[in-house]
Amino acid sequence: MDYSGNNLGELLSTLKTDVKDWTEIQMKLLQLQAFEKTAILGSSLIYGVIIINLLLFAFLFAFFALSLLLGKWVHSTIGGFAIISFFYVIILALMLIFRKAIFTALQNLLLKQLNPEPDDESSK
């Protein structure tokens, strides 16, 4: 092959154009992947908030009913609500005691959502 200055210049020019195009494509791919992960995370967070709110109301009314039932059993409405309040205080204390483990579990869940395993993507 003849690698004279003219052909070498054309080859380098073509190579430069190809590298520039490849870099632009890679940047667009990274941008699209970031958008996809943001959309997945956002939709998961919104879904989670909806589910948590529904569970909150379900538990609120269930514990309200349980408080009234316990109040009937102990012959004091205030006593029934006091028992349920004590139950909530115990749950709060447990959450404070195990806050690092809870935080780590939530952090791992978030990271897993942001960076799915390669097997997860192939099953989509």
Q: What share of the chain in percent tops pLDDT 70?
A: 88
Rounded Cα distance between 65 and 95, Å, is 24
pLDDT over 80 (residue 113): no
Rounded Cα distance between 69 and 50, Å, is 29
Give domain limits for the chain.
5-122
pLDDT at residue 98 in the model: 95
Do 44 and 50 meet the contact criterion of CB atoms below 8 Å apart? Answer: no
pLDDT at residue 112 in the model: 81
Do 39 and 33 meet the contact criterion of CB atoms below 8 Å apart? Answer: no
pLDDT at residue 57 in the model: 96
pLDDT one-digit tens code per residue, 20-58: 999 999 999 999 988 888 888 888 889 989 999 999 999
Looking at every residue in the chain, the average pLDDT score rounds to: 87
Residue 3 confidence class, pLDDT cut points 50, 70, 90: low
pLDDT over 70 (residue 76): yes
Q: What pTM value is reported for the model?
A: 0.57
Residue 63 identity (one-letter amino acid): F
pLDDT over 70 (residue 120): no
Rounded Cα distance between 6 and 21, Å, is 23
pLDDT over 60 (residue 86): yes
